[in-house]
Amino acid sequence: MSYKIVKYGDPVLETPAAPVTGFHTAELSELIEGMFETMYAAKGVGLAAPQVGVSQQLTVIDTSVGQDPAQKLVLINPEIIFREGRQTGEEGCLSIPGFREDVTRSAKVTVRARNAAGEAFETSGEELLARAIQHEIDHLHGILFLQHLSPLKRDMIRRKIRKMVKAGEW
């Protein structure tokens, strides 16, 4: 089942998500499957549960955009336990369509998370994967990439979006 992606302006995107407590359930499997489907349809590399209106600490990532099943990553209740270096690159968000800006993030991260069965694991990523992991974990804390921009740039984007909302184009 594909979901509707929640857009900037919906409070769920700026609300810290609750930890997942029920593992190994049909609901959780369906949510994960639906999130991958939604993300691929939108040609994204990551999608967090709040972006489909579910305020839970779950995110799916695939930097191959569906080309390599081995790249599929599900992070539940994730926590970044190691960071190294810096990278600056263009970033966008499926909840803020049409806007892309340079964001500086850690170049490499290691994350500790649980899988759908509730088993804890650790994984590391560099470059685009590191960027996706940080962007998606931000979502679980109610943080959008706009918060990493200068106040000037952030306000400019907010103003443009407000205009689009008024015009019924958002």
Q: Active-site residue numbers?
A: 136
**Options 23-31, 85-93, 97-105, 150-158: segment touching Ni ion (CB under 5 A):** 85-93
Nearer to Ni ion, 4 or 166 (CB): 4
Q: How far apart (Å, rounded) are the C-alpha atoms in residues 98 and 75? A: 26
Nearer to Ni ion, 77 or 95 (CB): 95
Residue 165 CB, shortest distance to Ni ion, in Å, is 19
Q: What are the residues facing 123 on neighbouring strands?
A: 111
Binding residue count for Ni ion, defined by CB under 5 A: 1
**Options 12-20, 90-98, 120-128, 148-156: segment touching Ni ion (CB under 5 A):** 90-98
Q: How far apart (Å, rounded) are the C-alpha atoms in residues 49 and 43? A: 16
93 binds Ni ion (CB under 5 A): yes
Q: How far apart (Å, rounded) are the C-alpha atoms in residues 138 and 151? A: 18
Angle (CA) 96-38-87 rounded to 5° is 50
Question: Do 13 and 144 form a contact (C-beta atoms < 8 A)?
Answer: yes
Residue 118 CB, shortest distance to Ni ion, in Å, is 25
Site residues (CB under 5 A) for Ni ion?
93
